[in-house]
Structure formats: structure tokens, C-alpha cells
């Protein structure tokens, strides 16, 4: 149960770190939006559409890095959910015994 608590704290710190990176990427260009939970291609980009690397190379490469960071955030979030369920089940076992 102690290991679950330590893992939950590590996952929380990692989540805050990843969220800070996503917020940083959002502040670099107005076209990203303000959401940390959405990939950049989920909502329309105002202005010139960037279909490929040829249109706006810098933006497209930053967008790929940002989308990869959002993917890491989702993986971290689901790992946190698994660790939370493990902690709750161990806590219930401790309470019942």
C-alpha cells in the first residue's frame, strides 16, 4: 500500500510536469488553443491550414511535439488510474481484514 501511495505521488508530479509543457507549447502559437486535453488536430486551426510540412514547417513540427506530449499525458493519466484502483483495492482489503 505504501508503494501505491509513492507511485500515485510520482504520477501526480509527472502529470503536473507534462501539463506544464503542454501549457508552454500552447503559449508559443495562438493556433494551438488553450486546452491541454485535446490534440491540435481535433479542432479547427484559424488562419492558414497546415496540411503538411511544406505549408508551415515550424508550426507543424511544434504541433507534432505537442501532440506527442499530450499522448504522454494520456498514458500517464491512465497509469495513474490503474495505480489508484490498486491503492483502493489494497485499502479495502486492509479495512476488511
Q: What is the pLDDT of residue 42?
A: 58
pLDDT tens column, 53-87: 666 778 778 888 888 999 999 999 999 999 999 99
- Expressed in angstroms, the distance from the first to the final Cα of the chain is 14
| Beta-carbon contacts of residue 90 (< 8 Å; ≥ 6 apart) | 1, 4
CA dist 24 and 20 (Å) reads 6
Residue 83: strand, helix, or coil: helix
Q: Quick check: pTM over 0.85?
A: no
- Give all strands (DSSP E) within 41-87, no chain letters: none
Q: What is the pLDDT of residue 80?
A: 96
Q: What is the pLDDT of residue 51?
A: 56
Rounded (10°) angle between helices 57-96 and 2-28: 160
- The domain segmentation of the chain, as residue ranges, is 2-96
pLDDT tens column, 2-23: 999 999 999 999 999 999 999 9
Amino acid at each position: 500500500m505504501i508503494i501505491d501511495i509513492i507511485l500515485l505521488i510520482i504520477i501526480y508530479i509527472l502529470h503536473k510536469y507534462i501539463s506544464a509543457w503542454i501549457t508552454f507549447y500552447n503559449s508559443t502559437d495562438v493556433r494551438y488553443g488553450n486546452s491541454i486535453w485535446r490534440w491540435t488536430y481535433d479542432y479547427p486551426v484559424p488562419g492558414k491550414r497546415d496540411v503538411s510540412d511544406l505549408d508551415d514547417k515550424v508550426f507543424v513540427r511544434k504541433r507534432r511535439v505537442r501532440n506527442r506530449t499530450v499522448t504522454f499525458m494520456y498514458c500517464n493519466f491512465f497509469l495513474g488510474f490503474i495505480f489508484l484502483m490498486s491503492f483502493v483495492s489494497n485499502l479495502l482489503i486492509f479495512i476488511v481484514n
